[in-house]
Amino acid sequence: MKQATDLDVEEALRRCAAGDAGALRAIFEREAPRMIGVAQRIVRRRALAEEVVQDSFVQIWRRAASFDAARGAGRTWIYAIVRHRAISILRDERRLELDADGDPTATVSEESSDDIVTKLSDSSSLRRCLEHLEERARKLIVLTYVHGLSHTELAAREGVPLGTVKSWIRRGALALRECLG
């Protein structure tokens, strides 16, 4: 069942698609603080999070006509744009910070997946489920969803074919879904 805010966002997206800048302003006023929070959790810097949200609103404006309510809620759509934009900005920064050897994964924090899992709340069901994953799956999921590495970057880092990395991540994600389910 859709909440009133989902319906409001969907209506605003329809109005944006028709060229109504006031509708974009309404989305901004209602969602920008939460969008900045989501972006900041990914990029870890307030100023960069604000840039992510600004870029996201440009994309929302340009792509509003492509929103399809049959495929998901309006809020889900705009937050997916924020998340993807934040990850893209992180990847762009990493490409600028390549080490002397040109290793695309050298700038990823050396913090292990186990360290990240232990930072989660003790009562967190996500922590419990991550701890039950096999080490390889946990590591790849953390590198993908926390550090923002692409599957291609992970394949290069692990020295295995791209399809293998995709399979490992998919199996790990399915195990997480089942555990959290």
- The domain 4-96 is placed in CATH, from the list 1.10.1740.10, 2.40.50.100, 3.50.50.60, 3.30.43.10, at 1.10.1740.10
Domain 113-180 sits in CATH 3.40.605.10: no
Greater confidence, 12 or 105? 12
Residue 150 to residue 136: CA distance in whole angstroms? 16
Reference 43, options 110, 115, 92; nearest CA is: 92
For residue 8, give both structure tokens: 């409001």
Q: What gap in Å lies between CA 53 and CA 47, rounded to an integer?
A: 10
Contacts with 3 (C-beta within 8 Å, 6 or more apart), sequence order? none
**Do 179 and 132 meet the contact criterion of CB atoms below 8 Å apart?**
yes
Domain ranges of the chain: 4-96, 113-180
> For residue 136, what are the contacts with CB-CB under 8 A and spacing of at least 6?
168
Q: What DSSP designation does 66 have?
A: G
Model confidence pLDDT, tens digit, residues 110-157 = 455 555 555 555 557 777 888 888 888 888 888 888 777 888 888 888
pLDDT tens-digit profile of 24-56? 999 999 999 999 999 998 888 898 899 999 999
Measured CA to CA, the distance from residue 136 to residue 163 in angstroms comes to 15
This model's pTM is above 0.75: no
